[in-house]
């Protein structure tokens, strides 16, 4: 582990020396996996990913538990079919999996079919909150952490004793995986839509959320996690759904976003930073990084052309939008919903979630160490593959043998007594 100063900030020169020494040693010794150790903390580059969060990272859990709303144009850009994701294509986690050469893409814990968890599991769930508010789902952060602990317990029980163990993570994957926690956006969004004042948000909601995050992170640490990546909340005040609701009745900031909602985001993010600072002091053998999702989001909104977005469309929903915001009568995924001609020009997909182009940009930021506390440049110290990042790439090109002809299932109406 690297040397640190009294306040826990790593000494730059020593850290650089450690990175160079590790890279040189890896070059001399060689590596079958092609992975180079990262900064001397847990050791090698991530061997897998265990994700906790909400709909920004849900890869199918909600749709598997509550089927029925998984319709095109969701998933059309990469998957060419409904993908159980709340975007037109891939999410940040999908780009992570592709970059690290993980196949298949990270699968949800809640499954209704064959699974492959060799390189991790996604526990994220649509509508999840950190504070525990059951506004739209009971599968909040605390529940997701409990699911992980049970999953790991069951996995150890299955190792070598069941035919299923070949599709489960090994001990090494658990030990050296990246544990991502990206949650809190729904806490802020729900508070605004429920007209909760800032005194409640600052005095009750955020402290409660931080209590759960703290307990959850400690629980993961006790379960062996040593590499953490926390995400701050992106700018809810600049989302199409919030602008539609509050543009004419709330103060806007210099970007044209709803000021009080962004202030709530910033307060949540400041509290998260304080929590992570405390966790670092308690667990100095763990790598705890923070990605500034809010800062990255604002950077894209302020300089859209630098990242391929249309300045006139950064706050307009591509799907389900209208001239004045969201079309509440024709939401994205319904037959009459408006869909823009070029989603890559838009930051916002359906009013609440982002486009694949936005998630691609965020993934590139994270992997390059931008907008993060520790600045871990995985692109430089790991062997990453960006060949499948292009917007023109399709699922069938990445997984050429995965397509099959799906037989049509005949629907049999239920008896009236059952319905």
Q: What is the pLDDT of residues 152-177, one digit of tens each?
A: 999 988 666 666 677 899 999 999 99
206-222 and 259-282 helices cross at what angle (nearest 10)? Answer: 30
Local confidence band at 5 (pLDDT 50, 70, 90 cut-offs): very low
Strands (E), 34-176: 49-53, 120-122
Q: What are phi and psi of 22, to 5 degrees?
A: -65, -40
Bridge partner residues of 319 (DSSP): 339
Mean pLDDT across 126-149: 90
Rounded Cα–Cα distance for residues 303 and 133 (Å): 35
Q: Which of 16-20, 121-125, 260-264 has the lowest mean pLDDT?
A: 16-20
CA-wise closest residue to 296 among 191, 182, 393: 182
Distance CA 45, CA 349 (A): 32
Q: Which tokens sit at 78?
A: 């990469």
- Report percent pLDDT > 90 for the chain: 72
Determine the Cα–Cα distance for residues 62 and 76; give it in Å rounded to an integer. 19
Reply yes or no on whether the pLDDT at 91 is more than 50. Answer: yes
DSSP, collapsed to helix, strand or coil, labels residue 272 as: helix
- Say which residue the tokens 């990084």 belong to: 289
User: What whole-number distance in Å separates Cα of residue 313 and Cα of residue 108?
Assistant: 32
**Residue 222, pLDDT above cutoff 70:** yes
Average pLDDT, the chain: 86
Check: pTM over 0.75? Answer yes or no. Answer: yes
- pLDDT for the residue numbered 35: 35
Structure confidence at residue 34 (pLDDT): 33
| Phi, psi of 50, rounded to the nearest 5 degrees | -120, 120
Residue with the bigger pLDDT between 219 and 136: it is 219
Return the pLDDT at 68. 83
Check if the beta carbon of residue 335 is closer than 8 Å to that of residue 302: no
- From residue 218, alpha-carbon distances to 109, 140, 282 in Å are 21, 17, 10
Residue 324: what pLDDT?
Answer: 76
Higher pLDDT pick, 5 / 257: 257
Does residue 172 contact residue 47 with C-beta atoms inside 8 Å?
yes
Taking residues 319-346, report their average pLDDT: 92
- The arithmetic mean of pLDDT across residues 216-231, rounded, is 98
How would you class 419 by CB atoms within 10 Å of its CB: exposed for 0-12, middle for 13-18, buried for 19 or more?
exposed
Phi, psi for residue 52 in degrees, rounded to 5 = -130, 130
345 backbone dihedrals φ, ψ, rounded to 5°: -80, -15
- Helix 259-282 vs helix 185-193: angle between axes, to the nearest 10 degrees? 150
pLDDT of 268-303, one tens digit each? 999 999 999 999 999 999 999 999 999 999 999 999
pLDDT band with cut points at 50, 70 and 90 for residue 28: very low
Res. 25 pLDDT band, cuts 50 70 90: very low
3-state class of 95 per DSSP?
Answer: helix
* Residues 233-280: tens digit of each pLDDT: 999 999 999 999 999 999 999 999 999 999 999 999 999 999 999 999
Please state, in angstroms and rounded to a whole number, the distance separating the CA atoms of residues 295 and 161. Answer: 47
CA-atom Rg of the chain in angstroms: 21
Q: Please report the pLDDT score of residue 170 as a whole number.
A: 92
CA atoms within 13 A on the CB side of 123: 26
Q: Sketch out the chain's domains with CATH numbers.
A: 49-398 (3.40.50.1110)
Burial (CB < 10 A; 0-12, 13-18, 19+), residue 35, is: buried
Residue 24's pLDDT band, with cuts at 50, 70 and 90, is very low
The CA angle 374-379-384, to the nearest 5 degrees, is 135
pLDDT: which is higher, 164 or 62: 62
């Amino acid at each position: 582990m690297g040397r640190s100063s009294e306040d826990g900030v790593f000494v730059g020169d020593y850290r650089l020396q450690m990175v160079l020494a590790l890279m040189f040693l890896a070059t001399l010794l060689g590596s079958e996996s092609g992975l180079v150790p990262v900064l001397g903390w847990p050791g090698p580059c991530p061997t897998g990913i265990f994700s906790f969060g909400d709909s920004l990272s849900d890869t199918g859990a909600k749709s598997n538990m509550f089927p029925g709303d998984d319709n095109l144009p969701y998933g059309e850009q990469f998957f060419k079919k409904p993908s159980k994701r709340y975007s037109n294509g891939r999410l940040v986690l999908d780009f992570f999996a592709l970059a690290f050469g993980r196949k298949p893409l990270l699968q949800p814990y809640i499954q209704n079919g064959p699974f492959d968890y060799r390189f991790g599991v996604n526990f994220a769930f649509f509508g999840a909150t950190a504070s525990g508010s059951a506004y739209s789902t009971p599968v909040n952060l605390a529940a997701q952490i409990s699911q992980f602990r049970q999953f790991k317990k069951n996995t150890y029980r299955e190792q070598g004793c069941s035919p299923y163990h070949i599709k489960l993570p090994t001990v090494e994957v658990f030990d050296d995986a990246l544990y991502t926690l990206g949650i809190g956006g729904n806490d802020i969004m729900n508070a605004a839509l429920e007209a909760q004042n800032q005194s409640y948000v600052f005095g009750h909601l955020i402290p409660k959320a931080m209590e759960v995050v703290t307990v959850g992170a400690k629980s993961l640490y006790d379960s062996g996690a040593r590499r953490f990546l926390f995400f701050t909340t992106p700018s809810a005040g600049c989302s199409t759904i919030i602008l539609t609701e509050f543009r004419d009745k709330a103060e806007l900031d210099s970007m044209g976003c709803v000021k009080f909602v962004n202030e709530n985001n910033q307060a949540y993010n400041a509290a998260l930073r304080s929590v992570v600072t405390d966790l670092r002091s308690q667990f100095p053998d763990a790598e705890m990084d923070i990605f500034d999702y809010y800062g990255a989001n604002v950077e894209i909104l302020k300089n859209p052309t630098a990242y391929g977005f249309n300045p006139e469309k950064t706050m307009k929903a591509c799907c389900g939008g209208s001239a004045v915001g969201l079309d509440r009568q024709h939401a994205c995924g319904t037959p009459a919903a408006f869909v823009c001609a070029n989603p890559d020009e838009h930051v916002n997909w359906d009013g609440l979630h982002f486009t694949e182009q936005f998630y691609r940009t965020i993934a590139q930021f994270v992997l390059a160490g931008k907008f993060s506390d520790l600045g871990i440049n995985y692109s430089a110290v790991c062997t990453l593959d960006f060949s499948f990042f292009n917007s023109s790439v399709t699922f069938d090109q990445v997984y050429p043998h995965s397509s099959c002809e799906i037989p049509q299932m005949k629907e049999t109406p239920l008896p009236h007594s059952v319905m």
